[in-house]
Amino acid sequence: MANGDFHLHSTASDGVYAPARVVEMAAEAGVTVMCLSDHDTTNGIPEAAEAAARLGLRLIPGMELSSNLELRTRPGQAIDAHLLVYGIARDSEAMQRYLAWQREERIERAKKAVAVLNECGLEISVARVFELALGGSVGRPHVARALVERGYVESVQRAFDEWLGDGKPGDIPRAKLSPREVIDLAHAAGGVVFLAHPFRGDLVDEREVRDCIRQLAEAGLDGVEVYYKNYEPERIRWLARIADEFGLQRSGGSDFHGLGNPEDRGIGDIPFPGDRVEAFTQFIEDNCREPYVKETTNAAS
Ligand code: AMP
Ligand code: ZN
Ligand code: FE
Ligand code: FE
């Protein structure tokens, strides 16, 4: 029976391990089918594909995108809804233009975050943050690591709790599209779109999460990450019921970054039953332009 993990980050964005290493770790954990879902980039996929071909895993090309969602329950106050895109044709020009723009926005936002933190007396440099990002998509975790390195906080988690988490001084907004615009782009590129970690931050009230999922379903969402990381059985049953109610598929993933945060799960260490993994991969095969990466050379990007 298939063993899957469809939410994984590498050094192409804010993960700690290189794409090939993430695939090796997945293989060591007994994963047979996976998706590399870096933030705003598909640049890690060729390297991951080579490792996947070598180790006999199936690799779904993917990514995690951010969007500005104005919840009906919170008028005038947008939240950052994370959308997992699976199976896109990576040569879609419109999608690659969008990704390049988002990465540029991330660079400008990291500079602003460092400036604000400098004003707070934390002496970290923009240059060091970019060094830690290794040329990948720059995110708050890179800023967090710079703070840890300089001894201002003891862990990445503490850096978020004190400085970078939502609403903290180092949480600088950046330009984003609406979920409907992101979903349309992803569909045009031959992919499907799932809501990542439906419960997160201060969005934990079931009525509000249900409303959020309904709103996204109206915007064309294909599925929900039901089997996420450390969700309890009760939460998973609830999410599965809501997904059914709105005609949505189910996915699952560990959201592995390798940062060693207390609530982290290892790759493949998720409550995603094998028969459900197979239903998910069947959906991907039936609905995506590039369900699995075909290229095993470094030609694609
Ligand atoms: P960014 O894409 O730059 O906004 O950063 C988002 C990433 O930061 C997510 O993928 C998480 O890995 C991490 N993150 C966001 N909020 C928190 C938090 N409160 N605690 C720990 N990590 C977080
Ligand atoms: Zn991340
Ligand atoms: Fe996320
Ligand atoms: Fe993620």
Dist. CA 290 → ligand 4 center (Å): 21
Pick the atom of ligand 1 nearest to 64's CA. Answer: 10
Q: What is the mean pLDDT of residues 93-118?
A: 98
Contact present, 267 and 8 (Cβ < 8 Å): yes
pLDDT at 230 over 80: yes
Ligand 1, pocket-test mutation among 17, 79, 104, 164, most atoms within 8 A of CB: 164
**Three-class DSSP category at 177:** coil
Dist. CA 95 → ligand 4 center (Å): 19
What 8-state DSSP symbol labels residue 90?
T
The residues near 294 (Cβ < 8 Å, ≥ 6 apart) are none
What's this model's pTM, rounded to 2 decimal places?
0.96
Residue with tokens 């201060």: 202
Residue 149, CA atoms < 13 Å, CB-side half-sphere: 13
pLDDT digits 0-9 by tens, 110-143: 999 999 999 999 999 999 999 999 999 999 999 9
β-bridge partners, 67: 81
pLDDT at 301 over 80: no
Ligand 4 is an ion; its neighbours by CB within 5 Å are: 64, 255
Dist. CA 165 → ligand 1 center (Å): 7
Q: Report pLDDT for 262.
A: 87
Residue 281, CA atoms < 13 Å, CB-side half-sphere: 20
Residue 4, CA atoms < 13 Å, CB-side half-sphere: 30
Q: Is the dihedral of CA 114, 147, 136, 271 positive or negative?
A: negative
In angstroms, the CA 125 to CA 133 distance is: 13
Identify which of 220, 277, 208 has the alpha carbon closest to the alpha carbon of residue 246.
220
Q: Report pLDDT for 300.
A: 45
Q: Report pLDDT for 296.
A: 52
DSSP codes joined into one string, 243-285: HHHTT-EEEEE--B--S--TT---TT-S---HHHHHHHHHHHH
| Structure-model confidence comparison of residues 238 and 297, the more confident one | 238
Ligand 1, pocket-test mutation among 112, 140, 164, most atoms within 8 A of CB: 140
pLDDT digits 0-9 by tens, 28-56: 999 999 999 999 999 999 999 999 999 99
Pick the atom of ligand 1 nearest to 109's CA. Answer: 3
pLDDT at 297 over 60: no
Residue with tokens 């290794």: 134
Q: Report pLDDT for 1.
A: 84
Pick the atom of ligand 1 nearest to 9's CA. Answer: 10
Q: Is the dihedral of CA 263, 175, 205, 84 positive or negative?
A: negative
pLDDT digits 0-9 by tens, 56-93: 999 999 999 999 999 988 988 899 999 999 999 999 99
Q: What is the mean pLDDT of residues 203-221?
A: 97
Average pLDDT for the chain? 96
pLDDT at 153 over 90: yes
Annotate 188-211 with b (16+ C-beta within 10 A) or e (fewer): ebbbbbbbbbbbeeebeeeebbbe
Q: In the chain, what is the straight-line distance between the N-terminal and C-terminal CA atoms, in Å?
A: 31
Q: Report pLDDT for 295.
A: 60
Ligand 1 surroundings by CB, under 6 angstroms: 14, 39, 139-141, 157, 160, 165, 257, 261
Pick the atom of ligand 1 nearest to 156's CA. Answer: 21
Contact present, 295 and 49 (Cβ < 8 Å): yes
- Record the tokens describing residue 222, joined without a space: 């294909």
